[in-house]
Structure 1
Amino acid sequence: MKREQWGSRTGFILAAVGSAVGLGNIWRFPYMAYENGGGAFFIPYLFAMLTAGIPFMILEFTLGQKYRAGAPGTLRRLNARFEWLGWFQVMICAVIAFYYVVVIAWAISYAWFALDQRWGDDSNAFFFGDFLGLGDNSPSNLGGLQWHLLLPLVIAWTASFFATYRGVKGGIEKINKVLMPLLFLLVLVLIGRIIMLPGALSGINWMFAPDFSKIWDLKVWSAAYGQIFFTLSVGFAIMLSYASYLPEKSDINNNAFMTVLMNCGFSMLAGIMIFGALGYMAQAQDKALTEVVSSGVGLAFVTLPTAINLLPAPGIMGPMFFLALVFAGISSHISIAEAVTTGLMGKTGWSRQKTATLFCGTGFVVSLLFITQGGLLLLDLVDHFINNMALLGSCLLELFLVGWLCKLSDYQKRANELSEFSIGIWWQLCIKFLSIAMLAVILFNNIVGAFKENYGGYSDNEILFIGWGMIAVMLVVAIVINASSKQEVKA
């Protein structure tokens, strides 16, 4: 059966950008820039983009386009002993899909709540109490389901199911051709209104004001590289899967540059939007910006609802902000679901329709764990270990495999033959040395930190069985699948 292909170059780039542009661009990047030297942070960030982000993206586009398979199939072609790494990457995607969709469900709910600011004057108590029902719960004591989250969860999963069921051209490409322009338009409209508010420019200045003393801090450079690896969807099956549907003559280098630059450009726009709103909020409440700034879930669902209460026309600007979150989340979740679907199709030989139905159906059931009263805590713990251990380890192993156990120059030659402009020896140096070195430093620091202190104050058993135990199970399952593949080949 002939493999599917993207309908157009624009469709592929929008889908790749849609995968890379996610919730982290909106609620993680602005805070990281602010915390790590403001305008000075953009020097290590841009350096990381050029030496890690773009080279890694070129590598994955080249591998996916050449081998025409998901992560397990591609890594098997590189080295039969490393198929397990492909399955480990697929399982990273599956786990992320299970909990990431819940945050999209929250955003869908809040887009509705924003019409009349249903969170009231105390957005903190509303989010953690009324909305999530978080009480004396823990990751190992989840409590009951929050039934009001069931419908938004169904809506979020339905979007990903429709896209993966219909395929890359009829589903994923069509949806991203609508979602991505709408997302950029929403953010630009919000920026246009927010920067006119008193205090907004002061907030933006807080984010961009450079503290050049921090450039010499290794932690700032680690943060810059970490953000690049987190945000670009490289190293865990997604871009390999997307690139496997590229036509035979596709401009690899140009596509990679455009994808990375558009993603990083969106991060900058998100920073202007967020810090403009926080600057206005700080002035309206007569507080210092340092008292209102935050990151992550707290920024999106506690701090910004408070800011929305103060905005002119909150019933318009509030829903627009949360719709932007929904669009960013769904475009990323579709790519995560597609990475799993592509990997499973290659292994089982099932049709796309059967694979998408089984994965999304199973995923919906597993996601119910995260809409319980303790679901937020389980999500927090699982996300920490997936992002800071499993994902970074996966990136490091993939770069080592291709950079040191394969002939990297062959992939450089292939990318150059297909592209309008060529990449030089710098690309090989970035893959073989710089990216690997930075990933090793970040991962080592994360592992040492994990053993020094329990993340989030969770109990030893929760850290051991839910955190490390989850990664161990994923590794064992990946190795068993790899072993079964070898037996099939021998038979």
Structure 2
Amino acid sequence: MNRQRRKTENQKSAGDRGQWASKREYVLVMSGNVVGLGNVWRFPYLCYKNGGGAFLVPYGLLAVVCGIPLFLLEASVGQYTQEGFITSWRKMCPLMQGIGYGQLMITLCFFIYILIEVWALLYLVFSFRSQLPWASCENTWNTANCLGLQTFNSSNVTANQTNTTSAATEFWERRVLGMSGGIEDLGSVRWELALCLLACWMFCYFSIWKGVRSSGKVAYFTATFPYVTLLILLIRGLTLPGAWDGIYYYLYPNLNRLVWIEAGSQIFFSYSLTAGFLNVIASYNEYNNNCYKDCFWLCLLNSGTSFVAGFVVFSVLGFMAHKQGVTVDTVAESGPGLAFIVYPQATAMMPLPQFWTVCFFLMLILLTVDTHMFVRHKSNYIVTFHLKLYFNLSFFKSRLFLLQGGIYIFQLIDFYGSTRVCQNFMAICECLAVGWIFGADRFSNIIEDMTGQRPSVFFKLCWKYIIPLLSLVSQKINDWYTYPDWAYALGWTMTLSSVLMVPLWAAGQMCLTAGTFKQVSIHPLQSSLAEEKHWRGGSNC
């Protein structure tokens, strides 16, 4: 039977490139990849900033109509083709192979997130000191405008109310980053950060050097320990004075501040959509793995972790506001400001501050590690591509971010390398390739063939109509610093480098390949699927 032949061919391909040793390893690696920084330092703040409890309504709705269908689409493409995110699209729809190259450009920007691991590792080292260096102003890097924790607690003033800065802010900006005045002044290399970067890449190297065999085993620790620390921090946070004031700010519904587009952006970011990660990880599954059921549980795990992380973050922020005698909105921040200024300052106010600081930064390191442990096209390709390109290129090129002006470059790539324009455009292209060119009915047949469960017609509606109709909305980069015009031009060049891959590849295929549009877009794999009507008792194709 044609169906059995396709299954045998895919299993042979999987045997050549390796597979997960067990379903448990796949779930751990996938959960470690989709549960990351976006759940801890982005979702809680977005929820508070954009309507509190009311934000959960658009977030939940967009998770259903956009997040889960796209998650299923990407995981199913990888599992069926047994290929990476470039060659999988060549098998599904040659005309749209530019999707894979566009995702490659996005992925190359993701190496900057190892900088977060580097910063967290340096903080972790400092956390073992008897006196936390961000708790006082008695250090060589502090200025006359520094306010330590004792000053905060005694005078009830904040850096926002005076011309002063907190000790935690000065430690972050002056000790860790050594920040220059702007992107035009890159300054010198921070050698302590360089040593931490080397340590992080060495850990990454030995986690993946044997392909799925090693990365699957490492995931037993890196994917589970963050949940242990998250639970510890949650219990501790809820017992702090002022914690419930913070939780009130986190969940209080405010319809006047509700922003739907922020919910969609968070879904893409936290679910790791349109970046190729899901295709690659799922490609190491067995042919008969139930990816249909997996996508529901993994998406529920991701969103549930985000929701719980909000209690962890805002209980601590409520405690910090209580200690300073200010409102929670005064101390609430997102991104690096939350992880490396606000949260360390808050833990320094607790009894046993070293313990809580170690827990937090160890969790942050492991959440970042999982993002870098995704595997590539083939087992031997991991060595030649990931280790040589990512270790040699990324380590030495990452030195640019270790300069005193590196934080400005980090923020620029962080926004423009995976901006909403890239995310939404890639999502529309994926849906166009699978829903219209390959065929949503044919794709549903494939999922049923692999899992024994036929996806609901709702998924077909999402792939063909709902997701492609999502609007592309522009977004301004964070206004904490005004970039020169050439930097914005460089940023948009990064955005276009991924977006233009799809139309340019399609145009090249149409020009260089003889035949009609249908002939150019159909792969032999797709043609053979026409025989499905014989075993299905009819044709949906």
Normalising by structure 1, we get a TM-score of 0.89
CA 1:72–1:489: 2 relative to 1, 3 Å: farther
2:245 equivalent in structure 1: 202
Q: For 1:8 and 1:352, locate their aligned partners in 2 and report how far apart those are by CA, in whole Å.
A: 20
1:104 equivalent in structure 2: 117
1:162 has 2:189 as partner: no
Q: For 2:209 and 2:381, locate their aligned partners in 1 and report how far apart those are by CA, in whole Å.
A: 10
How far the C-alpha of 1:489 sits from its partner, in A, is: 9.7
Q: Contact 2:180 / 2:186 at 8 angstroms: preserved in 1?
A: no
- 1:385 is aligned, of 411, 416, 421, to 416
How far the C-alpha of 1:114 sits from its partner, in A, is: 2.2
Letter paired with 2:126:
F
How far the C-alpha of 1:479 sits from its partner, in A, is: 8.2
Q: For 1:488 and 1:308, locate their aligned partners in 2 and report how far apart those are by CA, in whole Å.
A: 61
Q: For 1:39 and 1:152, locate their aligned partners in 2 and report how far apart those are by CA, in whole Å.
A: 39
Q: CA deviation digits over 1:25-58, x for unaligned, max 9?
A: 1110000000111111111111111111111111
The number of residues matched between the two structures is 466
Unpaired stretches in structure 1, ≥5 consecutive residues: none
Larger Rg: 2
Q: For 1:28 and 1:180, locate their aligned partners in 2 and report how far apart those are by CA, in whole Å.
A: 19
1:137 equivalent in structure 2: 182
The within-5 A match list for 1:110-121 is 110-116=123-129, 117-120=132-135, 121=148
User: Which range moves more in the overlay, 270-279 or 399-408?
Assistant: 399-408
Q: CA RMSD in A?
A: 2.5
1:468 equivalent in structure 2: 492
Secondary structure at 1:55 match in 2: helix
- 1:237 is aligned, of 272, 276, 281, to 276
2:534 equivalent in structure 1: none
Q: For 2:441 and 2:101, locate their aligned partners in 1 and report how far apart those are by CA, in whole Å.
A: 26
- 2:298 is aligned, of 259, 266, 273, to 259
Q: For 1:59 and 1:354, locate their aligned partners in 2 and report how far apart those are by CA, in whole Å.
A: 28
The within-5 A match list for 1:57-456 is 57-97=71-111, 99-116=112-129, 117-120=132-135, 121=148, 122-138=167-183, 140-168=184-212, 170-212=213-255, 217=258, 220-335=259-374, 338=375, 341-342=376-377, 351-359=381-389, 360-388=391-419, 389-419=421-451, 421-438=453-470, 441=471, 443-446=472-475, 456=481
Letter paired with 1:445:
S
Q: CA deviation digits over 1:297-348, x for unaligned, max 9?
A: 111111111111111210100110011100111111222xx3xx42xx59xx
How far the C-alpha of 1:444 sits from its partner, in A, is: 3.1
How far the C-alpha of 1:250 sits from its partner, in A, is: 0.4
Q: Contact 2:348 / 2:354 at 8 angstroms: preserved in 1?
A: no
1:52 has 2:66 as partner: yes
User: Which range moves more in the overlay, 471-480 or 429-438?
Assistant: 471-480
Q: For 1:409 and 1:156, locate their aligned partners in 2 and report how far apart those are by CA, in whole Å.
A: 45
Letter paired with 2:322:
Q
2:37 equivalent in structure 1: 23
Q: For 2:65 and 2:278, locate their aligned partners in 1 and report how far apart those are by CA, in whole Å.
A: 18
Secondary structure at 1:28 match in 2: helix
User: Which range moves more in the overlay, 411-420 or 28-37?
Assistant: 411-420
Which structure's residues are more often helix, by fraction?
1
Q: Contact 1:64 / 1:241 at 8 angstroms: preserved in 2?
A: yes
Q: For 1:195 and 1:365, locate their aligned partners in 2 and report how far apart those are by CA, in whole Å.
A: 43
Q: For 2:508 and 2:204, locate their aligned partners in 1 and report how far apart those are by CA, in whole Å.
A: 30
Normalising by structure 2, we get a TM-score of 0.81
CA 1:112–1:455: 2 relative to 1, 3 Å: closer
CA 1:377–1:357: 2 relative to 1, 3 Å: same
Q: For 1:418 and 1:476, locate their aligned partners in 2 and report how far apart those are by CA, in whole Å.
A: 33
